[in-house]
Amino acid sequence: MSLPIRIQVFPDAGGLTHHAARTLREACARNAEGRVAVALSGGATPALLYRRLAEDYLHEIPWGRLEVFFGDERAVSPHHADSNYGLALRELLSRVPIPMEQVHRMPAGESDLELAAQCYEEEVQRLVPPGPLGDPAFDLVWLGVGEDGHTASLFPGTATLSSTESLVVANDVPRLGTRRMTFTFTLINAARRVQFLVLGREKAAIVERVLGPPRDGAPSELLPAGRVRPPHGTLEWLLDREAAAGIVDPGLIA
């Protein structure tokens, strides 16, 4: 039985990114001596969080104890404009004292994407201790959500939605005409804490579909983002006022 979903609405991105940064600080404090395993989200939204971490939490996070992974990656080189790793490197990882051997880039630009995904899965299994389900349990997984309800690179209608045995897979995304590498639900839902970071009016409709009351009987679980429900972990949706417009009366947001 999953824990209830926590929904937090912030007037703007500032409050949201501070809350997310403090979540990482808390995860480090909870795991006082050991390594802290965190998976970074893809897309553009995390850039604001990365800058917040680098500029306001430089001395508050024990960077030398982090093992940083990526929840998904595009099939591009690390320095391509679309690379999730490239964004994190520019905005965060090059600005904080984390040993680069503790930054685990997802090699989604490899020609044999299946083999690369298997190798990344083995790296996760080697470095992230198992949780109650026996799978590697990240201390914190950050995710975004697309307007079609995808999260990480788990897109509606793609084969990986049913991958339960694997932890990291290659995924064909016909709608984008591309390939991706991504965590599966099995790995995401093994996490101790999962946080969705969602900003902007263009996300209000999908937030309502995932978090609002089921429409015409269609449960939100049909949407990939709706299938993120860690049974032994906490799930939080961090929304700004605009992204929450479909589920909360804006007048109620301070």
Q: Which residues bind ligand 6PG (CB under 6 A)?
A: 41-45, 72, 84, 144-146, 150-153
Nearer Cβ to ligand 6PG (28/163): 163
Supply 38's token pair. Answer: 């965190």
The amino acid sitting at 163 is S
Q: In terms of CB distance, is 28 or 117 closer to ligand 6PG?
A: 117
Beta carbon of residue 106, minimum distance to ligand 6PG (angstroms, whole number): 10
73 phi and psi angles, rounded to 5 deg: -155, 150
Which residue's CB is nearer to ligand 6PG, number 107 or number 146? 146
Residues 19 and 23: their CA atoms lie apart, in Å, by 6
Going by C-alpha positions, the residue among 35, 37, 22 that lies closest to residue 187 is 37
Q: How far is the CB of 163 from ligand 6PG (least distance, A)?
A: 16
CB of 79 to ligand 6PG, least distance (A): 16
3-state percent breakdown (helix, strand, coil) of the chain, nearest 5: 35, 20, 45
Taking the complex as a whole, the smallest distance from the CB of residue 233 to ligand 6PG amounts, in Å, to 19
CB of residue 196 to ligand 6PG, shortest distance in Å: 9
The least distance separating ligand 6PG from the CB of residue 180, rounded to whole angstroms, comes to 7
Helix axes of 46-56 and 13-30: crossing angle, nearest 10 degrees = 60
Strand pairing report for 72-74 and 140-143:
unpaired
Which two structure tokens, joined as six digits, stand for 5? 């979903």
Q: Report the residue number, 151 or 163, with the smaller CB distance to ligand 6PG.
A: 151
Beta strands in the chain (DSSP E): 5-10, 36-40, 66-70, 72-74, 140-143, 168-173, 178-183, 193-198, 234-240
Residue number with CB closer to ligand 6PG (28 or 38): 38
Q: Toward ligand 6PG, which CB reaches closer, 28 or 240? A: 240
